[in-house]
Amino acid sequence: MKTTKVSSVESVMNEDNKSSVKATATSRTEEIGEQTNSNKFKNSSNNSDNSTSDSVSVENLSSSTSEVQLRKLGSSVGVVQSIQLLKEQRKAIIKFKESLQALNFQKKYQRYMLDLAMIQVSLLV
């Protein structure tokens, strides 16, 4: 888009100014390209840091919530490898095969009503 604006300026200027405007446009385009590439790299490294957890903590469970119910919820987003149900703490830890599955579980079931209790889901690091 910036290149298009420079092109319209070129047609108005005389021959001497035209060459300097072209040079400026080229260097500005290169700068934008470098910034875009560095931002892509930063974003890709940030995404890998955020999604490395393959486990979630499920808190505020009802005393009647069972492992079978949790496995059914977990299976709706991916492959559940293990579930630790800590009844006394009203908490569970669910481990998934892949980190994306844990993230999807957290997004889908955060503040979900299960057995008349609103559960809290967080990713474990």
Task: Kindly state the average pLDDT of the residues 4-14.
Answer: 44
pLDDT in tens, 65-105: 999 999 999 999 999 999 999 999 999 999 999 999 999 99
pLDDT confidence band for 9 (50 / 70 / 90): very low
pLDDT of residue 52: 78
pLDDT confidence band for 116 (50 / 70 / 90): very high
Residue 36 neighbours by CB under 8 Å, 6+ apart: none
CA 78/CA 112 separation, integer angstroms: 18
pLDDT in tens, 15-70: 555 544 454 444 444 444 555 444 444 443 344 445 579 999 999 999 999 999 99
Residue 63 neighbours by CB under 8 Å, 6+ apart: 87, 90
